[in-house]
A and B are shown apart, each in its own frame.
Chain A
Amino acid sequence: MPKEVVVRTIGVKKNFMLGRIELKVLRGVDLEVSRGEYISIMGPSGSGKTTFFNMIGGLDKPSAGRVYIDEVDIAQLDAYELAWLRCRKIGYIFQTFNLIPVMTALENITLPMIFAGVGHDEAVDRGLKLLEMVGLKERVQHKPFELSGGQQQRVAIARAFANSPAIILADEPTGNLDLKTGKEIIRLLKEMNRNHQVSVITATHDLKMLDVSDRVVWIRDGQIERIEERANLDIKVGEVEGE
C-alpha cells in the first residue's frame, strides 16, 4: 500500500518581531506524516515545537514555506475553508486542556459538531459515545472546574475526536498531569490512533511517549535535528534521560 501523506511541510519558517529584533523560531522545517502514523516531536523548551504545531494546525501563518494538509496548501484557503479544515480535519489537544469553562463536558464535546452543522440530537448521541470511550460516562453534566486535570484532558481528547479528524495535534498533552494519569492519556491516544487510523502528532518532553511512537522527530533551535524510526529507539532512550 502506498503511504498516504496527510501532513507535509516544506521549508516552514517562522519569525517573530520583538520590537526591532527578529526572532527566528523556525528555520526551515520539512516533515511528512502518513495516515495513521504516531509521531512524537521532542526537543528542549523553546525549540519551537508549539510554534511548529500552530503552523501545521492552521492556527498561525508561517513566515515562509508551505504546509499541506491532505495535499491542500492551507495558505490558499479562505477563512471559511480554513474554519472547515480546523473543524473536521484536525483535532487539537492542548497542555492546558482549554475546555470552554461555562460548558459541561458534553457541551464541550458537541461544540465542534455544532460548528460542523450536525443536528442537536445526533451531536448528543455521538458526544455520549465519545465520553464513554474516554471513560467519563458519569461526568456528562460536569463543568471543567468540577473535573480533575486528567478528566479534563479526557474530555479534550473526546472533543478532538468529535468530527472524526484525520489528524490529532497534541501539544504536550501530559505536561500538566501526574505520571499515572499521563500514561493513561498516552494509552488512550494510542488506542484512538490504532482504532481510527488517525495520525497523531504530539509534542512532548515525556519519554513515556516514545514507546508508542512510530517515529520520533527531534527539534533543536527551530530545525529538525534527526528523525528516528521506532525500531532504532530503545538504545537512545537511556542516552536522552542522561541529558
Chain B
Amino acid sequence: MAGQVGKQVMLPKQEAFKMSLRNIRIRFGRACIVSSSVLLGVAFLMSIFTNTVIQQALLKNGPESIKVSLAAGASDSMARDIWLVSLSLLVCVVGITNAMLMSVTERSREIGTMKCLGALNRFIMEIFLIESGMQGLLGSLAGGLIGGLGMLITYLARYGTVILNYIPYLGLLKFYLFSIILGTVISIIGAVYPTYLSARMEPAEAIRREV
C-alpha cells in the first residue's frame, strides 16, 4: 500500500460551471459591480456602432431633409469615435481586472482551502474565468441593449418615426452580437492575470493572506 500516489484528474467543466453559477448567485451584489463596468463600456461601444450604422443608412437612402441636416457634421467624427471606443474598452479591461483582483484576493482563503481539499490550479482558474465570463456576458447583453436603444431613441426624438423604415436591423444585430462577444472576451482576459496569481499560490500562503 505504501508508496502509491495517484494523479488527480480534472473535473468535468460542468462542475466548474455549477460552482461559478453558485458564486454569482450568492455574491450577486459583487457580480453586479463587475458586470456594470462591462455594461458601461459595451453600452458606449454599441451606441457608437448604432449611431454610425443609422447615420450611414440615412445618408444613403433617407429622406432629403434628413440627409441635409446629417451631412453637416457627419464623416469627420469617425476617427474620434474609434479613439473613444478603444479608450472605453481599455478602461473596461482595467476595471474588470481590478474588480477580479479584489474578488480573487477576497477569496484567497477559500482558494487555499479548496487546494487543500484537492482542487487543481486549473480547476480554480476555470471557476474564476467562467465566473468572470458570465458576468461579462450579462453586462454586455444589457449594455448592448442600453447603448443601442438609447441611440435609437435619440434619433427617433430628433427625426421622428419615419427613420424606422431606413434602419438596417440585421446590420445592427450583427454589431450587437459582436459587442457581446467582445465584452465577454474582455472580461475573461481581464480575469486571467489575477486568477493566475492566486491559483498558483501555495495553499499555506493563500490561507494565511488576510485581506
Contacts from A to B (Cβ < 8 Å)? 4, 54, 57, 59-61, 70-72, 77-81, 83-88, 92, 94, 96, 98-103, 111-112, 114-117, 159, 163
User: Which residues of chain A are near B117, meaning CB under 8 Å?
Assistant: 86-87, 92, 111-112, 115, 159
A87 with B8: CB separation less than 8 A: yes
Instruction: List, in ascending order, chain A residues with CB within 8 A of B120's CB.
Output: 79-80, 83
Tell me, yes or no, whether B207 is within 8 Å of chain A by CB. Answer: yes
A87 touches B113 (CB 8 A): no
Question: Does B52 have its Cβ within 8 Å of any Cβ on chain A?
Answer: no
Interface centre among B8, B9, B23, B119 (most CB of A within 10 A): B8
* Residues of chain B within 8 A of A112, CB atoms compared: 117-118
Q: How far is the CA of A92 from the CA of B203 in the complex (A)?
A: 12
Q: Is A71 touching B27 in the complex (CB atoms < 8 A)?
A: no
Chain B contacts to A: CB under 8 angstroms: 1-9, 11, 15, 22-23, 26-27, 109-110, 112-121, 123, 202-205, 207
Supply 11 further A-B pairs (C-beta < 8 A) apart from A83-B115, A96-B109: A60-B203, A81-B5, A81-B8, A83-B118, A84-B5, A86-B203, A98-B113, A102-B23, A114-B15, A115-B123, A116-B118
Task: Pick from A57, A70, A88: contact of B118, CB below 8 A.
Answer: A88
The docked-state distance in angstroms from the alpha carbon of A54 to that of B112 is 12
Closest to B206 in A: A59
- Expressed in whole angstroms, the minimum distance between the Cβ of A79 and any Cβ of chain B is 7
Evaluate contact between B110 and A115: CB separation under 8 angstroms: no
Task: Assess the B7–A59 pair: CB atoms within 8 A.
Answer: no
9 A-B interface contacts by CB (under 8 A) = A59-B112, A60-B205, A81-B6, A81-B7, A86-B203, A87-B117, A94-B207, A111-B114, A112-B117
Question: With A and B bound together, what is the CA distance between A80 and B117 in angstroms?
Answer: 13
Q: Are A100 and B2 in contact (CB under 8 A)?
A: no
Contact of B202 among A59, A88, A159 (CB under 8 A): A59
B118 touches A98 (CB 8 A): no
A-B pairs, top 5 by smallest CB distance, nearest first, are: A87-B118, A115-B118, A60-B204, A83-B8, A54-B204
In the bound complex, what is the Cα–Cα distance between A87 and B7 (angstroms)?
10
Q: Smallest CB–CB gap between B85 and chain A, Å? A: 36
Residue pair A102, B27 in contact (C-beta under 8 Å): yes
Which of chain B's residues have a CB closer than 8 A to the CB of A116?
A: 118
Q: Is the CB of A115 within 8 A of B119?
A: yes
Interface pair B22/A102, CB less than 8 Å apart: yes
B109 touches A117 (CB 8 A): no
How distant is B5 from chain A, measured CB to nearest CB, in Å? 5
Bound CA–CA A116/B10 (angstroms): 10
Q: How long is the Cα–Cα vector from A239 to B192 in the complex, in angstroms?
A: 55
> Complex Cα distance A117/B121, Å?
16
Given contacts A86-B116, A94-B207, contact A72 B5 (CB under 8 A): yes
- Does A57 contact B116, Cβ atoms closer than 8 Å? yes
Complex partner residue of A70 from B3, B7, B119, B202, CB under 8 angstroms: B3
Give complex CA distance A156, B26 in Å.
21
Neighbouring A residues of B204 by C-beta, 8 Å? 54, 59-60
With known contacts A60-B205, A83-B115, A86-B118, A115–B8 Cβ distance under 8 A? yes
Residues in B whose Cβ lies below 8 Å from that of A100 = 110, 113-114
